[in-house]
Amino acid sequence: MKAYIVEKIEDKKFESGIKDIEVPEISENEVLIKATYSSLNYKDALSSVGNPGVTRNFPHVTGIDVAGVVEKSNSAKFAVGEKVLVTGYDMGMNTDGGHQEFVKVPDSWVVKIPETISDREIMIYGTAGLTAALSVNELLNNGITKGNILVTGATGGVGSIAISILHKLGFSTTAISGKEDKIPFLKDLGASEVILRNEFDVENKRPMGSEKYDGVIDTVGGNILAEALKVIKYDGVATCCGLTSSFELNTNVFPFILRGVRLIGIDSVECKIEKKIAAWEKIAGDFKIDTLEKLTNEITLDEIKVAYESLIAGKASGRYLVKI
């Protein structure tokens, strides 16, 4: 079968591309998925260049997402022919991922695709869509059901899907992006306002700012999140799921103790399977958006390498869908 393989040539030197490899054999409580679609995420791009924080085992198949049909099953949970998906856990990190024609995974990682959504649609969402849905859910579950939401890293996978979901639910959204040429794209997804990153990412010595936003969905971390916390309204909520700006957060306690602001971490990798299933059901139902094609770049396995270069250079927007 064909697979996108990353190989370690020598210390700190890696090569990647399409190769033919053997179809894996499954053991007890495992399934073999005939892949139909996967996607690209920033974590995949890091894995492709041998980032040790993501992948240490080589040769390695990238792809933290996959959707397809059960080809073989040694599991009581899944039957041959069922449409399924896998996101997160160790897949695509140190376990071979979704950028291959057949994918072997433990049955504990697998979710049945809801009947109201196709394998293609669910992979446009992928890990990014799951993370966006989990973030929106935390706002709703903590009483943020209307108002203006600030979304950082807005042209990325999580940000663009979050804007689309929030727009469908009736929120107004303010998007932060470093890509001035993508303002029409963000407005088309439903953003009410777009702020350029260099206007917002400015260190402010004041411990608090005026109240502007009912909630924040942050995908970048660092100073942008620190400044966002200062301008959340009383009893507001911020979710945090990324670190493309920085893993550090230099802030103060005033937003938390004077305005009751809550900061909630979002993890879509190891969260309980029941939580994932509930989020996918939302994505296939109340959260299902009509802007999927606007944010989709469909590619093949052969085009992954070029797409990784765009992701690493920060030039990508929306979602890369990989047709296997």
Tell me how far the alpha carbon of residue 276 is from its chain's centroid.
13
- The C-alpha angle 6, 97, 278, rounded to 5 degrees, equals 150
Higher pLDDT, 317 or 289: 289
pLDDT at 318: 82
Q: State the pLDDT confidence band at 205, using cuts at 50, 70 and 90.
A: confident
Q: Summarize pLDDT for 83-107 with one digit per residue, the tens.
A: 999 999 999 999 999 999 999 999 9
Q: What does pLDDT average to over the chain? A: 94
**Domain containing 186: what range?**
128-265
Q: State the pLDDT confidence band at 317, using cuts at 50, 70 and 90.
A: confident
Q: Counting Cβ atoms within 10 Å, is residue 237 exposed (0-12), middle (13-18) or buried (19+)? A: buried
Q: Are residues 255 and 310 in the same domain?
A: no
Contact criterion met (CB below 8 Å) for 66 and 88: no
pLDDT at 293: 87
Q: Are residues 145 and 103 in the same domain?
A: no
Across 113-142, b (16+ Cβ under 10 Å) vs e yields bbeebbbebbbbbbbbbbbbbbbbbbbeee
Tell me if 121 is assigned to some domain: no
Q: Indicate the residue type of 1.
A: M
Distance CA 277, CA 106 (A): 16
Q: Summarize pLDDT for 68-89 with one digit per residue, the tens.
A: 999 999 999 999 999 999 999 9
Tell me if 211 is assigned to some domain: yes
Q: Domain count for the chain, please give it.
A: 2
Q: Are residues 189 and 313 in the same domain?
A: no
pLDDT at 224: 96
- The C-alpha angle 104, 105, 108, rounded to 5 degrees, equals 160
Distance CA 89, CA 65 (A): 10
* DSSP string across 106-160: EGGG-EEPPTTS-HHHHHHHHHHHHHHHHHHHHHHHTT--SSEEEESSTTSHHHH
* Token output for 197: 């990153």
pTM of the model: 0.91
Q: What is the CATH number of the domain that holds 252?
A: 3.40.50.720
- Across residues 288-294, what is the average pLDDT? 89
Q: Summarize pLDDT for 17-31 with one digit per residue, the tens.
A: 999 999 999 999 999
Q: 268-273 long-range CB contacts below 8 Å, 24 or more apart?
A: 268/87, 268/88, 268/127, 268/130, 268/131, 268/134, 268/241, 269/88, 269/89, 270/88, 270/89, 271/88, 271/134, 273/108, 273/109, 273/111
Q: Summarize pLDDT for 118-172 with one digit per residue, the tens.
A: 999 999 999 999 999 999 999 999 999 999 999 999 998 899 999 999 999 999 9
pLDDT at 315: 82
Beta-carbon contacts of 170 under 8 Å, excluding residues fewer than 6 positions away, are 146
Query: Does residue 291 register a pLDDT over 90?
Result: no
Higher pLDDT, 81 or 244: 81
Element (H, E) at 231: none
Q: Are residues 254 and 229 in the same domain?
A: yes
Q: Are residues 89 and 172 in the same domain?
A: no
Q: Are residues 33 and 138 in the same domain?
A: no
Tell me if 212 is assigned to some domain: yes
Q: Summarize pLDDT for 254-275 with one digit per residue, the tens.
A: 999 999 999 999 999 999 999 9
- Across residues 213-218, what is the average pLDDT? 98
